[in-house]
């Protein structure tokens, strides 16, 4: 696999992921990914993206409940 940014070689490793959402910030240290050995760019496969999206959706729901509990 070739990096689309620098044409370097991609290898299986882990990469950090963060997301800023309404009312919270999420950071994972090590998500399985393809990482460029030259520039460090990372790409997540669809399975990891699906898991991240499900986790963020669950956090969105729980965050909404917390925001609503102060009313």
The answer to whether residue 1 is domain-embedded is no
- Domain span holding position 25: 10-68
Residue-wise pLDDT for 42-63, tens only, equals: 999 999 999 999 999 999 999 8
* Residue 3 lies inside a defined structural domain of this protein: no
Cα 26 from chain centroid? 9
Q: What are the pLDDT digits (tens) for 18-38? A: 999 888 999 999 999 999 999
What's the CA gap between 19 and 16, in Å, rounded? 10
Residue 20 lies in a domain: yes
Domain count, the chain: 1
Q: Is the pLDDT of residue 15 over 70?
A: yes
Model confidence band, residue 2 (pLDDT cutoffs 50, 70, 90): very high
- Say how far apart CA 3 and CA 42 lie, in whole Å: 9
| pLDDT of 66 | 84
Span 35-47, pLDDT tens digits:
999 999 999 999 9
> CATH number, domain at 21?
3.10.20.860
């Amino acid at each position: 696999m070739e990096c689309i940014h620098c044409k370097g070689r991609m290898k299986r490793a882990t990469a950090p992921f963060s997301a800023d959402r309404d009312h919270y910030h999420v950071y994972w240290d090590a998500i399985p990914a393809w990482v460029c050995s030259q520039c460090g760019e990372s790409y997540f496969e669809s399975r990891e993206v699906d898991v991240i999206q499900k986790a963020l959706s669950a956090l969105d729901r729980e965050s909404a409940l917390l925001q609503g509990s102060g009313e």
